[in-house]
Amino acid sequence: MSTDGTNYLDALVTKLKSAAAPFRDTLNELHAKYKDVREGAVADYIPELAKADPNAFGISVMSVDGQVVEVGDHQQLFSLQSISKPFVFGLALEDHGREHVLSKVSVEPTGEAFNSIVLDETTNRPFNPLVNAGAIATADLVEGKNFSERISRMLAMFSRYFGRTLYVDNSIFMSERATGHRNRAIGHLMLNFGMIKDRVEETLELYFQQCSLLVNCHDLAVLGATLANGGVNPITGQRAIKAEYVKDVLSIMASCGMYDYAGEWAFRVGLPAKSGVGGGIVAVVPGKFGIGIYSPPLDAKGNSVRGVLACRELSERFGLHVFEAGHDGPSLEDEFRPRRG
C-alpha cells in the first residue's frame, strides 16, 4: 500500500470518526486552545514525578453507555496519586460502614493544602479523606488479615472501576517512599491520637502504592463514567462499589476534591472531581459522563492548570454544572451522538 493510500485511509478514518461525533471537533478545538498554556510547574517534591513531560495534554470523555471521545495524549501513562483517595474511601465505607469510618476521618473541606499536618482540634480526626492525613487514615481502614490481602483487595477494587488490571510504577513508588517523611509525620501524629492502628509503615506502603498506580486519560474517563453510572463500569458491566455509597464518594469529591480551590471549582465548574499531583483530573457528570484529563503542570494548589481550564470550558459550554437551571447552549448528549445524513 502506497503512502498516499495510507494517508487517504487515515484521513478517511479521521473523517468518519469526526462525522460520528461532532464532539470530537469540540475536543480538538479545546485541546488546541489550551495546549500552549505555559503556566504551572510539574510536581517535583516526589523526585520521580519531575520526569513528566510538561507538554503532555490529553482529554477523554466517556458516556454512561460506554461511548468515548478522546484527543491528545489520552494514552500517556501517569501515576494516579490523589485521584486514588475517594475510591479507597469508598472501599473503607464498604468494609466498615459510614459511622465507623466517620469516627476516624471527618468530611469537612479544610481550605488547607493537601499535605497539611493538621487534625480537627476537637476530635483529632483528619478533616476529610482527600487530604493526605485523611487518605492515610482511610488506607488504614482497608480490611485484610495481612498486608498482601489488604493490597490485593485495594487493587481488585481499582480493577473493578477501571475494567483492567492496574500496575504500580515501582520507580514512583520507591521515590514516594524514600521522600515520604511528611506523610510519615502525619501517620505518627494520627497513631498518637488513635486515629490509625499501630502499623504506620504498613499503611503508608498501601497509601504509596495506591498513589503510584499507572493510568491514562482513558482510564480516568472510565473511572468517572463508572461513578456517573451509579457505580457500574459502563464497559464491563461490573459493579465497582455498592450503590448506597456512590453518593458518599461523589459528595466528598464535590466538597473536597480540588483542595483549597474546591470552593471556586464548585462555583465555576460545579462537578464532583478529583485532582492528583501526577497531573490528572477526573470529573463526573452524574448520570451522564466521566471526564478524564492529563496535563502535568500544576498550579499553586496542586491542580493541573490545563485540566482546570478545559473542565471549566466544558462545563460552561455544555451547561454541565450540577445546579444548572438555565443553559440554552448545546447539550453534550447531542454533541456525543453521531451526525445524521
Least distance in angstroms from the C-beta of 160 to ligand DON? 22
- What CA–CA distance (Å, rounded) separates 270 from 267? 6
- What CA–CA distance (Å, rounded) separates 85 from 131? 8
Q: Which is nearer to ligand DON, 168 or 211 (CB)?
A: 211
Write out the binding residues for ligand DON, residues 140-169 only, by CB under 6 A: none
- Active-site entry in 232, 277, 282, 308: 277
Write out the binding residues for ligand DON, residues 261-290 only, by CB under 6 A: 275-277
- The answer to the question of residue 175 lying near ligand DON (CB under 6 A) is no
- What CA–CA distance (Å, rounded) separates 106 from 124? 10
* 207 in catalytic set: yes
* 85 in catalytic set: yes
Contact 211, 79 (CB under 8 A): yes
Binding ligand DON (rule: CB under 6 A), the pick from 183, 203, 226, 233 is 183
Least distance in angstroms from the C-beta of 258 to ligand DON? 8
Q: Fill in the per-residue mask, 99 to 138: x = in contact with ligand DON (CB under 6 A), - = not in contact.
A: ---------------xx----------------x------
* 288 in catalytic set: no
- Active-site entry in 61, 85, 116, 222: 85
Least distance in angstroms from the C-beta of 66 to ligand DON? 28
- What CA–CA distance (Å, rounded) separates 211 from 277? 9
Least distance in angstroms from the C-beta of 320 to ligand DON? 22
Least distance in angstroms from the C-beta of 302 to ligand DON? 3
- What CA–CA distance (Å, rounded) separates 174 from 167? 14
List, in order, residues 6 or more apart from 107 with CB less than 8 Å away. Answer: 128, 129, 251, 252, 255, 256
- Active-site entry in 60, 63, 79, 82: 82
- What CA–CA distance (Å, rounded) separates 44 from 24? 33
Q: What are the angstrom distances between the C-alpha of 161 and each of 10, 26, 84, 164, 313?
A: 32, 27, 11, 8, 26
- Active-site entry in 161, 245, 259, 294: 259
- The answer to the question of residue 215 lying near ligand DON (CB under 6 A) is no
* 259 in catalytic set: yes
DSSP states of 277-296: TTSEEEEEETTTEEEEEE--
- The answer to the question of residue 176 lying near ligand DON (CB under 6 A) is yes
All three cell numbers of 302: 496542586
Least distance in angstroms from the C-beta of 133 to ligand DON? 10
Write out the binding residues for ligand DON, residues 48-107 only, by CB under 6 A: 81-82
Q: Which is nearer to ligand DON, 27 or 49 (CB)?
A: 49
Residue 59 phi, psi (nearest 5): -135, 130
- What CA–CA distance (Å, rounded) separates 183 from 52? 22
By DSSP bridging, strand 68-72 and strand 78-79 are unpaired
How many chain residues interact with ligand DON (CB under 6 A)? 12
Instruction: Supply the residues annotated as catalytic.
Output: 82, 85, 207, 259, 277
Residues that bind ligand DON (CB under 6 A): 81-82, 114-115, 132, 176, 183, 211, 275-277, 302
